[in-house]
Amino acid sequence: MIPDLGKYAVTVLSSYGASLVLLALLVAVTLWRGRKVRADMAELENRLKTKANRDG
Amino acid sequence: MSLWEYANPKKFLTTSERVLPVFWWLSGACIVIGLIWGFFFTPDDYRQGSTVKIIYLHVPSALMAINAWLMMLVASLIWLIRRHHVSALAARAAAPVGATMTVIALVTGAIWGQPMWGTWWAWDPRLTSFLILFLFYLGYIALWSAIEDPDTAADLTSVLCLVGSVFAILSRYAVNFWNQGLHQGASVMRAGAITGTDTEEKVSNIFFFPLMVCMVGFVLLFIALVLYRTGTEIRARRIRALMARERMAA
């Protein structure tokens, strides 16, 4: 149920489209990088712990 | 309990993980409610027509573009004065968020300007200072990435942030400093505009209330993003330190 935007429909919808895509990208990249860094850190800590146990 | 306790990375991470869900949900709720309210339930403006609906994205993003830099300024000053790593990392974490907000403000402004001013872009004081602010954001992000030593990078980016603050402030007050150009002056956050004692043109309440909800949503989203990204930067720094230690031991 999109309201009648008249002759400015393209203007308004393209503004909303561009902004929401940029916001979604920002949140997605932030969450993706956060999860990747967490996983990398867990893997590194496991590796160091295993190495420390092996070396006694 | 002192604020400086949060300069401890471990304390920062545990506290931010506790409060983050609240900020994510509140920001999402405010933005969704504000945008639905503004888009579906407000009338067209008598001069701008339906393009007035763009203010629900343009104004909050412009607000956060400037405030993100001011937050980075405070964090950079804390780094330069007290050498707390978390504050330098928080400034680094805020930069891409501020840059995205600046792009949204510039893009929505250009799309709105085409039918209203007859041009996508004008070298107007506010528009130009906003473009320069965006270039400062890019320079700040590039400088962090270009320098390997994190303390040197924090020092140099902090100085860049101090210089860029001039443009952040100019972006806000350019219309007042140079009374020329196409961009209108402040009509939302003037005290008189809210109390109704202002004689100049102000935003009508029918547009003002959903706009306020969107602005609160953008502020909360900025806080959520910066808290989350600062946690990521703290972990990335810890990874670099552990890998350096591993290399030394080998």
Please check the confidence at residue A16 and state whether its pLDDT lies above 50: yes
Calpha distance B59→B108 (Å, rounded) = 9
Sign of CA dihedral B7, B165, B141, B214: positive
Q: What residue of B is the nearest CA neighbor of A34?
A: B232
Structure token pair of residue B240 = 């670099």
Q: pLDDT at position B87, please?
A: 95
Q: Coil, strand, or helix at residue B182?
A: coil
Establish if B244 touches chain A: CB-CB under 8 angstroms. Answer: no
Higher pLDDT among residues A55 and B178, named by residue: A55
CB pairs under 8 A between A and B: 89
- Residues of B numbered 157-216 whose beta carbons fall under 8 angstroms of chain A's beta carbons: which are they? none
Inter-chain residue contact A12 with B108, CB threshold 8 Å = no
Tell me the β-bridge partners of B49.
Answer: B45
Distance CA B91, CA B82 (A): 14
Does B50 touch chain A if contact means CB atoms closer than 8 Å?
A: yes
Kindly determine whether residue B103 and residue A48, on different chains, have CB atoms separated by under 8 Å: no
Digit-by-digit pLDDT tens for chain B (250 residues) are 677 777 889 999 999 999 999 999 999 999 999 999 999 999 998 888 999 999 999 999 999 999 999 999 999 999 999 999 999 999 999 999 999 999 999 999 999 999 998 999 988 888 888 999 999 999 999 999 999 899 999 999 999 999 999 888 887 776 666 666 667 666 665 544 444 555 556 778 889 999 999 999 999 999 999 999 999 999 999 999 988 888 887 7
- C-beta atoms of B40 and A26 within 8 A: no
> Where exactly are the structural domains of chain B?
55-203+226-249
Quick check: B58 and A6 CB within 8 A? no
The reply to whether residue A18 touches residue B111, judged by beta carbons under 8 angstroms, is: yes
- Give the ipTM of the model, two decimals please: 0.92
